[in-house]
Chains A and B, each alone.
Chain A
């Protein structure tokens, strides 16, 4: 198999400020099965500040009087309405779970755009959103639509359920990889923006 040693930094997408340093190993032993990953990150950003920013985002969503329904975020010209920025950011985080599961040694992803989003108002404090996102797949260059449901409350594990359009037969990675299965439910540690 192939073993990769990675050293990388993470940065805030707005300020380009360094927020973390990570060391990881990724071991692809067998083709078509998820790799073994070890990872260690050190946050360079202050925990309190992270929580504050999460709460600001959360409040912005909670302040909406009607369920948020939107499409094309960003729009064709790259604009994101300020009120919708947290919704976009939440889609990025949710998509990162999809990409974590979908990525292989030969296929990588980025979230290209939120095609649509619909909020489900809940009686409890959680926020819940139904998304259709487009994932840009390399090197095939395809745009993969994924249906994604995200449930979030700061200080709680993020819940993501998703279903992506099945890979078409022409890609090298056989379509059998997705096994036609339905939503994958994923519980993860608390996620910060």
Chain B
């Protein structure tokens, strides 16, 4: 195989994904170090909800990183290709710039043009239509006329389905709330995983929301590998500006919802599927002040690279020095805050 000369334009290529409801083209970017190795894939999408502007801003930031000189990125690009969809809900995003800042859904037309928009993150085929949705088009959580009824959903789902054997990690970026969310939204049953960790994982000063087994002093949190990795990401993020994220399953931290992209990718077998909810916690919400854009992107970058690093080390172990983003050389107090609510 020929060696291709390194340059950003050869690292980053644009590819057609599909069309939106208003017939706009959806493109994803592939960041790939040319080589004869077969690579595995990390997928990240932003902007599934129109008003969450910090999300496409982050994807854009991510793409503009220096892939030639950052040693961490160079290392994982040897084994992993990054597929980035900077704006999934193009129609909705444009609508939120031009017409209604706080629009959330896509712009598909219903009821003879009297009602618009499906919540794309309720439209995937993961327990579709079962909980945390509305069947009424006027609602901001309208799940659509059926699973994958929306062209945007189909474009993403069909692509990921085709490539699922090679996709190790699925990241979907939202705002706001400051969470790293693990499966599931549609049920509170913890995802079954043959790598369960119980009890003594040191999460440092992070806040983990988990279900318990046992009672009182004998109660032990049910943790899993997904949460451990999410915890590493949140710890890395907090190291930058002190921003604190909560980690846990959507159905425990937030609320129940079905048809989310993250649940769907996990259900079809992508082991590390996460939803990020970026800054802030409600003070400004969707309308984040401009001076927070860069810090949010910088800290989130650390979280995402922590996850990619982990995946890289797990599936492509090297004989050399093992860097874990958790080993910051600090001994953090073992204080894990558990909260649980009576349902």
**Residue from the list B134, B284, B289 in contact with A170, Cβ < 8 A:** B134
Choice from B136, B141, B289 contacting A78 with Cβ under 8 Å: B289
Task: Determine how close the nearest CB of chain A comes to the CB of B142; give it in whole angstroms.
Answer: 9
A138 interfacial contact with B, CB 8 Å:
yes
Answer whether A13 and B285 are a contact pair too, CB < 8 Å, given A139-B132, A168-B138, A170-B139. Answer: no
B→A interface (CB under 8 Å): 97, 101-102, 104, 119, 132, 134, 136, 138-141, 242, 254-255, 257, 282-290, 292, 341-342
A-B contact list, 14 entries, CB within 8 Å: A76-B97, A76-B101, A78-B289, A78-B290, A92-B283, A111-B282, A112-B287, A113-B102, A134-B102, A138-B254, A139-B257, A140-B139, A140-B140, A141-B140
The reply to whether A74 and B342 form a contact with Cβ atoms under 8 Å apart is no
Dominant secondary structure at the A interface: loop
Return the CB mask of A129-153 against B: 1 if under 8 Å, else 0.
0000010101111110000000000
Contact across chains for A142 and B140 when beta carbons are under 8 A apart: yes
Also in contact, A74 and B341, with CB within 8 A (given A139-B255, A142-B139, A170-B136): no
Could you tell me the distance between the alpha carbons of A74 and B102 in the complex, rounded to whole angstroms?
A: 12
By the criterion CB–CB under 8 Å, are A79 and B97 in contact? Answer: no
- Shortest distance in angstroms between B296's beta carbon and chain A's nearest beta carbon? 11
- Residue of A72, A76, A80, A140 contacting most chain B CB atoms (<10 Å): A76
Within 1-43 of A, Cβ neighbours of B (below 8 Å) are at 2-4, 13, 16
- Chain A, Cβ-Cβ closest to B101: A76
Do A74 and B140 contact each other (CB < 8 Å), given the known contacts A113-B101, A139-B132?
Answer: no
B residues near A74, Cβ cutoff 8 Å: 284, 287, 289
Sorted nearest first, the 4 A-B pairs with minimum C-beta distance are: A110-B282, A139-B255, A141-B140, A170-B136
CB-CB under 8 A from A72, the residues of chain B are: 101
B102 adjacent to A139 (CB under 8 Å): no
CB of A32 to closest CB in B, whole Å: 18
Q: How far is the CA of A37 from the CA of B213 in the complex (A)?
A: 29
Question: How many A-B contacts if CB must be within 8 Å?
Answer: 69
Report how far A111 CA is from B285 CA in the complex, Å: 8
B contact patch SS: loop
Closest partner residue, chain B, to A113 (CB atom): B287
Instruction: Specify which chain A residues have a CB less than 8 angstroms from the CB of B101 in the assembled complex.
Output: 72, 76, 113
A: residues with CB less than 8 A from B are 2-4, 13, 16, 72, 74-80, 92, 110-113, 134, 136, 138-143, 168, 170-171
Taking a contact as CB atoms closer than 8 A, the residue among B104, B138, B283 that contacts A141 in the complex is B104
Greatest chain A CB density within 10 A among B97, B140, B287, B288 is at B287
Q: B342–A140 contact, CB under 8 A? A: no
How far apart sit A87 and B289, CA to CA, in the bound complex (Å)? Answer: 16
A67 to chain B, nearest CB (A): 25
Q: Which of B136, B255, B292, B342 contacts A138 (CB 8 A)?
A: B255
Contacts of B285 in A (CB 8 A): 110-112, 136
- A140 to B139, alpha carbons, bound, how many Å? 8
> Given contacts A139-B132, A141-B119, could you give 17 more A-B pairs where the C-beta distance is less than 8 Å?
A3-B342, A74-B289, A77-B290, A78-B284, A78-B288, A78-B289, A110-B282, A111-B285, A112-B287, A113-B101, A134-B102, A136-B102, A136-B285, A139-B141, A140-B134, A141-B104, A143-B102
Would you call A170 and B290 a contact (CB within 8 A)? Answer: no
Please tell me if the beta carbons of A78 and B134 are within 8 angstroms of each other in the complex: no
B104 to chain A, nearest CB (A): 6
Could you tell me if B134 and A136 are in contact, using CB atoms closer than 8 angstroms? no
Residue of A nearest to B102 (CB): A143
Residues of B within 8 A of A136 (CB): 102, 282, 285-286
Residue of B nearest to A3 (CB): B342
A170 CA / B286 CA spacing, docked (Å)? 24
A138 to B49, CA, bound (A): 15
Measured between beta carbons, the chain A residues less than 8 angstroms from B287 are 74-78, 112-113
Q: With the chains together, A140 CA to B287 CA distance in Å?
A: 19
Q: Compute how far the CA of A38 lies from the CA of B183 in the bound complex, rounded to whole angstroms.
A: 34
A134–B102 CA distance with the chains assembled, in angstroms: 10
Q: How far is the CA of A115 from the CA of B316 in the complex (A)?
A: 52
Rounded to whole Å, the gap between the CB of A90 and the closest CB of chain B is 14
What residues of A have a CB within 8 angstroms of the CB of B141 in the complex? 139-141
Q: How far is the CA of A140 from the CA of B133 in the complex (A)?
A: 8
Give A112 to B284 CA distance when docked, in angstroms. Answer: 6
CA distance A171 to B139 in the complex (A): 8
Closest B residue to A172 using CB positions? B134
- Inter-subunit contact B342/A79 (CB<8 Å): no
**Contact partner, B289, options A4, A80, A113, A141, Cβ 8 Å:** A80
Q: Which residue of B lies closest to A76 (CB)?
A: B101
Residues on A with C-beta less than 8 A from B119 are: 141
